[in-house]
Amino acid sequence: MADLQPQTSDRKSRVIIAVGGGIAAYKVCEVVSSLFKSGVEVRVILTRSAQEFITPLTLATLSRHRAYTDDDFWQPTYSRPLHIELGEWADLLVIAPLTANTLAKLTYGMADNLLTNTVLASKCPVLLAPAMNTDMWEQLTVQRNWQQLLTDQRYHGIGTASGLLACDRIGAGRMAEPPEIFTYIQSLLHTQGQRDLAGKQVLISAGGTREYLDPVRFIGNPATGKMGLALAQAALHRGAKVTLVHGIANWDVPLGVQAIPVISAEEMQQVMVEYLPNADMIIMSAAVADVKPRDYSTEKLPKRSLPQSLPLEPVPDIVAQLAQLKQPHQYLIGFAAQTGDIITPAQEKLYSKKLDAIVANPIDQPDSGFASDNNQAIFLDNKGQQVKIPPCSKLKMAHYLFDFLAK
């Protein structure tokens, strides 16, 4: 069995955060702080207009390194030009908030400040997080620049969210929230900007299903859908079009992911079968119930009326049905949450359900499985390959899975 260990290096990952002029600049503080806490080296560039909203001192304190401005750019105090040093230093460059002005400059290769010169002096991936008024964002010229810039493989864009803007307008143009930007950064540091799922459609199930006895009682499990969420994020960041079919969730759907909420196994089955024909890859990470109450009461049952023994009946075997319906070009991956020996039951499920691959993950290990932010697993495929994944974040595990499938 292969043991997939993270690539080790004495050098930390290096990220430049370039801050544009906009009220959303305050959100960047959380991104910088999160990166530093995760062990990433951070350098910050502020445009002149960004300093109207946030100070270099604030970002220097959070990054534990001086923050650079255009005043530094024009000072001959460095052994080499500052934009060259920064451009060669970075593994990833993030521009947040991206203004309409900076977007236009990047689209046409203009370089009149430290930020734009550093972009042109670098070869690393660039993550863009735009923010502006709705009317500005929806201008034909702005949208044309946005779409044109994203045709360059260097650039990765987080679309804007809708909500209350600083101008009191409710609409599109709101910058992505810091946790979403941070997650995208983690993905790009893993993939180095490669889009190996570009043009692919990935269908993912997530979370637990609920089988109700009456309007308030149900048979369920502790699944939160965090693993499915991580798979959706990783696939999206690798260029895929993602559809996420999920049970009850307390997390936000990533920008750019089509999410379809369901409750019961039957509802999940209907949606998965409906979306199956257009999918290139199907990942059943949901913890689907095995049985449901045979009888359902439309009104809450009094305690005295609860049955002493609960008649049960099986729910649809979704993954088995998907395996029967899938076409040769489609790839179907299952999950097996187990205690004790996780390999034997996973192998049985892999072959009996006619899956292409399966993820066996222990739910009896600390900080692993249901509700945890971390996981560990063994990947198995129908060609006999097995890869052990040591404890890591669920996002990291999702990327390891796509790396495994790509091979």
Q: Is residue 332 part of a domain?
A: yes
Q: Is residue 232 part of a domain?
A: yes
Cβ count within 10 A of residue 23: 15
Domain count, the chain: 2
Last residue in a domain, options 168, 191, 214: 191
Place of tokens 């993912």: 204
Predicted pLDDT at 93: 98
Q: Is residue 296 part of a domain?
A: yes
Place of tokens 């390959």: 385
Do 19 and 55 lie in one domain? The reply is yes
Do 148 and 73 lie in one domain? The reply is yes
Place of tokens 């040769």: 328
Do 285 and 341 lie in one domain? The reply is yes
* 346 contact partners, CB below 8 Å, separation of at least 6: 336, 338, 358, 359, 360, 378, 380
What are the CA-CA distances from residue 95 to residues 8, 117, 165, 303, 343 (Å)? 27, 13, 19, 58, 44
Angle formed at CA 289 by CA 287 and CA 294, multiple of 5 degrees? 170
Q: How far apart (Å, rounded) are the C-alpha atoms in residues 184 and 187?
A: 5
CATH number of the CATH domain containing 115: 3.40.50.1950
Q: Is residue 165 part of a domain?
A: yes
Contact (CB, 8 A) for 284 and 205: yes
Do 123 and 87 lie in one domain? The reply is yes
Q: How far apart (Å, rounded) are the C-alpha atoms in residues 395 and 168?
A: 35
pTM for this prediction: 0.93
Q: Is residue 81 part of a domain?
A: yes
Catalytic site includes residue 124: no
Q: Is residue 196 part of a domain?
A: no
Per-residue pLDDT for the chain (407 aa), expressed as one digit of tens each? 666 554 555 789 999 999 999 999 999 999 999 999 999 999 999 999 999 999 999 999 999 999 999 999 877 766 789 999 999 999 999 999 999 999 999 999 999 999 999 999 999 999 999 999 989 999 999 999 999 999 999 999 998 988 877 777 787 888 999 999 999 999 999 999 999 999 999 999 999 999 999 999 999 999 999 999 999 999 999 999 999 999 999 999 999 999 999 999 999 999 999 999 999 999 999 999 999 999 999 999 998 888 888 999 999 999 999 999 999 999 999 999 888 999 999 999 999 999 999 999 998 888 888 889 999 999 999 999 999 999 999 999 999 999 999 98
The burial class, CB within 10 Å (0-12 / 13-18 / 19+), for 156 is buried
Contact (CB, 8 A) for 371 and 222: yes
Do 23 and 170 lie in one domain? The reply is yes
Predicted pLDDT at 77: 64
Q: How far apart (Å, rounded) are the C-alpha atoms in residues 280 and 196?
A: 13
Last residue in a domain, options 191, 222, 245: 191
Contact (CB, 8 A) for 59 and 32: yes
Q: Choosing from 29, 124, 167, 392, which is the catalytic residue? A: 167
Last residue in a domain, options 160, 191, 222: 191
Q: Is residue 339 part of a domain?
A: yes
Do 185 and 207 lie in one domain? The reply is no
Q: Which sign does the torsion angle of CA 128, 44, 35, 134 carry?
A: negative
Do 104 and 241 lie in one domain? The reply is no
Do 322 and 221 lie in one domain? The reply is yes
Rg (CA), the chain: 24
Q: How far apart (Å, rounded) are the C-alpha atoms in residues 270 and 316?
A: 10
DSSP state of 158: P
Q: What range does the domain containing 86 cover?
A: 2-191
Do 123 and 185 lie in one domain? The reply is yes
Q: Is residue 215 part of a domain?
A: yes
Do 110 and 254 lie in one domain? The reply is no
Do 234 and 107 lie in one domain? The reply is no
Q: How far apart (Å, rounded) are the C-alpha atoms in residues 68 and 82?
A: 9
CATH number of the CATH domain containing 376: 3.40.50.10300
Phi-psi region of 39 (alpha: psi -120 to 50; beta: other; left: phi over 0): left
Do 174 and 205 lie in one domain? The reply is no
